[in-house]
Amino acid sequence: MTSWTQRRSYAATGREPKPFNARTPDSDFQRDRARIIHSAAFRRLQAKTQVLGVGEHDFYRTRLTHSLEVAQIGFGISELFRDRHADQPDYAEWIPSQCGIEAVCLGHDIGHPPFGHGGEVALNFSMRDWGGFEGNGQTLRITARLGEYSEHDGYDLTRRTLLGLLKYPALFRELAGPPPVQATATNLDAWRPPKCVLDSEADVLDWILEPFDAADRARLRSFTPRPGKPGKTLHKPFDTTIMDVADDISYGVHDFEDAVALGLIGEKDWQEIDALIAKHPDTPLHADRDFYRASLFSGSTRRLKHAVSKLVEYFKSEVRLSENADFTHPLLRLQATMPQPAATILEGFKTLVMRRVILSPEVQTLEYKGQQLVVRLFEVLRENPQRLLPAATLRKFEAAEMPERVVCDYLAGMTDSHATRTYHKLFSPEMGSVFDRL
């Protein structure tokens, strides 16, 4: 286990950090979790879009509350595994600790830019000549490179925590493919980035995967080429699969809850989910069909929350610990999976939220506006760095081999409101003051 609790700074200097709080097996992961929680990037998630725009209402999730819920679900899954496999040492040894899985889940979204996936597409378009942009890749960049806890190693997290954050273990240049033929700033649909590690963190990827044998490394980094689309990675590490299924449950059920509470999804829409459940009479959901129909749309927040909690518990309890025999190392061979029919029903929730909320013209209008705002800011800041960049960012810009990446990092770190205020300072005649801090 020693190599998995190593940090990049320790590998470089040989100085091992002191125990965190107490000399326990979880001490290194306690430190990882604490550094993520107390980081600026984590705090900024409170003002970054999850599904609905920040500031539209005081009820629904932001990236911060979503991340907290993913951490709670991820810990619950780990505890279920620990209970089910207590008599199987080969499994139990590798199930992540509470602090370990919470560190991965809390940190999984900190690379997402303002305005959700719309902002991600906008930054990928803006960086099209300089290595592109992708939110998961930016998460690794922040945690391993930019974060405030070390000079060169970001938050200086353990190798295992960084491995858990490695959701798509291949490089941008490997997956991107040829650029879209239609390249316009007013329609960015063709510029959705590959899910990847940014090329600037290729050395970090090598360090994370160093303990695995060559066959495991190659297989983990394998991907499927897709004509006309970015390539798609095929495998995820063990801790990542726990985080990933927790993320899916949170997205499918909690974002559904937000949509119901705000009246964006109604009882008529529920018929789609009910029809899926009806096909599986052996599930607990089937036995409670009348309860869910009555509780979800009763108008009572208490009854809504009760029903949502039961849904989360059902999906969480269905997660299984399986093995991928293609790998030899337990951190790659072990996998958290959602079996049928739970997987199909959860996908139904996600599809409904996507169609009725995310793809609605009202939400798409806000996303498009955010995209245009980000593209314009990138262009102006890149062309006027001395005039417009804060002093600390300007120093990085002037010292960088690729200064465009510095502008990208600066914009990606903004909250929705910060990006909006910056735009208005620059382009709205009645906004802005010499007393406004950049």
pLDDT tens-digit series, residues 94-122: 999 999 999 999 999 999 999 888 999 99
CA distance 56 to 54: 6
Question: Binning pLDDT at 50, 70 and 90, where does residue 183 land?
Answer: low
CB burial of residue 193 (10 Å; 0-12, 13-18, 19+): buried
Question: Binning pLDDT at 50, 70 and 90, where does residue 72 land?
Answer: very high
- Most confident of the following: 39-48, 54-63, 386-395: 386-395
CA separation, residue 39 to residues 52, 108, 196, 227 (Å): 24, 13, 23, 40
Closest CA to 373 of 303, 423, 315: 423
- Counting residues of the chain whose pLDDT is more than 90, the rounded percentage is 78
Mean pLDDT value across residues 194-212: 97
* Range of weakest confidence among 169-183, 215-229, 271-285, 373-387: 169-183
| Fold category of 2-238 in CATH | Hypothetical protein af1432 (1.10.3210)
pLDDT tens-digit series, residues 376-411: 999 999 999 999 999 999 999 999 999 999 999 999
| Whether this model's pTM surpasses 0.85 | yes
Q: Which residue do the tokens 């025999």 mark? A: 325
pLDDT of residue 57: 46
Answer whether residue 246 shows pLDDT above 50: yes
The pair of structure tokens assigned to 270 is 């529920």
Mean pLDDT value across residues 71-81: 97
pLDDT tens-digit series, residues 13-36: 666 666 676 667 788 999 999 999
CA distance 435 to 362: 35
Mean pLDDT value across residues 221-248: 95
pLDDT of residue 13: 63
Answer whether residue 54 shows pLDDT above 60: no
Answer whether residue 434 shows pLDDT above 90: no
* Range of weakest confidence among 25-39, 138-152, 168-182, 281-295: 168-182
pLDDT tens-digit series, residues 336-375: 999 999 999 999 999 999 999 888 888 888 889 999 999 9
Closest CA to 317 of 91, 68, 79, 70: 79
Mean pLDDT value across residues 47-56: 56
Answer whether residue 52 shows pLDDT above 60: no
pLDDT of residue 15: 65
Domain boundaries, given as residue ranges, for the chain: 2-238, 246-361
Answer whether residue 430 shows pLDDT above 70: no
CB burial of residue 405 (10 Å; 0-12, 13-18, 19+): buried
Mean pLDDT value across residues 123-130: 96
Strand partners, 62: 49
Average pLDDT, the chain: 91
Question: Binning pLDDT at 50, 70 and 90, where does residue 62 land?
Answer: confident
